[in-house]
Amino acid sequence: MKSYQKLEKRFGRLLALREAAGVLHWDASTMMPEGGSSAEARSEQLAALGTVCHDILEDSETSDLLDDAEGLNDLNIWQAANLREMRHMWVHATAVTSDLVEALSKASMRCETKWRSARAESDFNGIKPMLAEVLKLVKESAAAKSEALACSPYEALMDEYTPGLRQDIVDPIFSDIEAFLPDFLKAVLDKQAAAPQPIIPKGPFPEAQQRELGHLLMGTLGFDFSQGRLDISLHPFSGGTPDDLRITTRYDEEDFTSGLMGILHETGHALYEKNLPKDWRRQPVGEARGMDVHESQSLLIEMQACRSKEFLTYAAPLMKQAFKRDGPEWQVDNLYQIYTTVEPGLIRVDADEVTYPAHVILRYNIERALIADDMTLADLPDAWNDGMERLLGLTPPDHATGCMQDIHWFDGAWGYFPSYSLGAMTAAQFFDAALEANPDILLAIAQGNFTPLYSWLTENIHSQGSLLETPELIKRATGKELDAGIFKRHLETRYLT
């Protein structure tokens, strides 16, 4: 067992360094000074950490230890799965050189930092050279990894975020949803138009009051502020570590629902991290099971649980108290109508759950084309606008609400977007299975009690870490393979009945 034990020690050090890099990323998005040479210094720091992590994996001793450990017959199921995940990380790392890792890290940090100001000015031409450098390096990495993984370059990128994900899995699911959406969306919009319109609460809703309400509901969900915090960033995200959770949101003083739903979404991410198996901290098998499962946990909380009438029954009095308001607009039925209103919009993170898949399909089609050299960055704005018009009947008035709205491409995260819609479908399937196992979950949520829901999630999802590969995790938890039909039935039940 010496070879395996050495690997555990080695990967424990590697994942501790990755945690440090994650906190530096969080700081760059929330508290790092904007002027001077801060961004360049942070770029150097993150590149150095990335290179050290890469060197740990690329070291010939790591390869030898993996070979030796894979010949052992006395590993338990957790150790065997840990070894499988170690090998997966090793394959990705050793496919590329340290120089490429360093160059991509620096280019991504510089481009992301520039994006923050360029997006505010809708300046695509200004940031295009930096984005071109990121894309060039991403393509080099994808090409190298595709050889090691025996898949296409774009599939190699998806595999970084959702291990094992391939286009022959994604394409049929997305084609099914794309075919389903137009008629369904029309039926929903027609139904809404025929019904009395909801009364929209009028702002302003001071940021301090929104933050206080967010803190209260995070506590209801189970967030422990002695082990985490909530901050503001341009793009909401969840980061930190399982023992030091960092989430962010952004506030709109004219519409409190956007910031609040961002908080609830990111809390879903954070509580997944918190509840991962403690015995396997800083081991690959103790990590989250891919970004599709991660997104399922945030979307299950935001979309399935916290847009339910039961949750709003609990939350409505707290909203009135936080904003010191009253009136018919704060009644549960009215709030439920607001929270389930479907309206095609330009911004992905603000999209309702009916139109959200269209946003993801657009990005999936574009990034595949860019990675395959079927499109150039010069084509990106027009391709984006054409896709939005085809899928949602909208044309962005500028790049800030168009192809520059997401941080992902500018930060080097290509192949990530499919996880969002796969996560939404997985969320619907998990929630359906949880309710079948315990029909009282929604009754408990109406009382502000999320314990029954989190008991099911912890037992079936969180505590499993990466013990099981994604298809097996879904099948064991729900009794069936991922089924887009469950997601469609959820939409039909919520929006047409």
Catalytic residues: 266
SS3 416: coil
Please, where are the H alpha helices in 122-163? 124-149, 153-161
Q: 3-state DSSP call for residue 241? A: strand
Cis status of the peptide bond prior to 33, with omega within 30 of 0: no
Nearest to 442 by CA among 300, 295, 305: 305
Can you tell me whether residue 402 is helix, strand or coil?
coil
The encoded tokens of residue 366 equal 């574009």
Instruction: Please give the Cα distance from 287 to 276 (Å, whole number).
Output: 7
DSSP state, residue 32:
S
3-state secondary structure of 79: helix
The SS3 of residue 311 is helix
What whole-number distance in Å separates Cα of residue 475 and Cα of residue 413? 28
DSSP 298: H
CA 144 to chain centre: 25
* Of 372, 371, 373, 370, nearest in space to 384 by CA: 370
The DSSP code sequence of 403-446 is TTS-STTTTT--S-THHHHHHHHHHHHHHHHHHHH-TTHHHHHT
What backbone torsions phi and psi does residue 416 show, to the nearest 5 degrees? Answer: -85, -35
Helical ranges in 275-355 per DSSP H: 290-299, 309-323, 332-339
What three-state secondary structure class fits 99?
Answer: helix
Which residues are within 8 A (CB) of 61 and not within 5 positions of it... i.e. 6 or more apart?
none
| Contact call for residues 245 and 275 (beta carbons, < 8 A) | no
Peptide bond preceding 204 in cis form (omega within 30 of 0): yes
HSE-CB for 38 with a 13 A CA cutoff: 14
Residue type, 65: L
Within 10 Å of residue 197's Cβ, how many Cβ atoms? 9
CB atoms within 10 A of CB 493: 9
Question: Cα–Cα–Cα angle for 439, 440, 441, nearest 5°?
Answer: 95
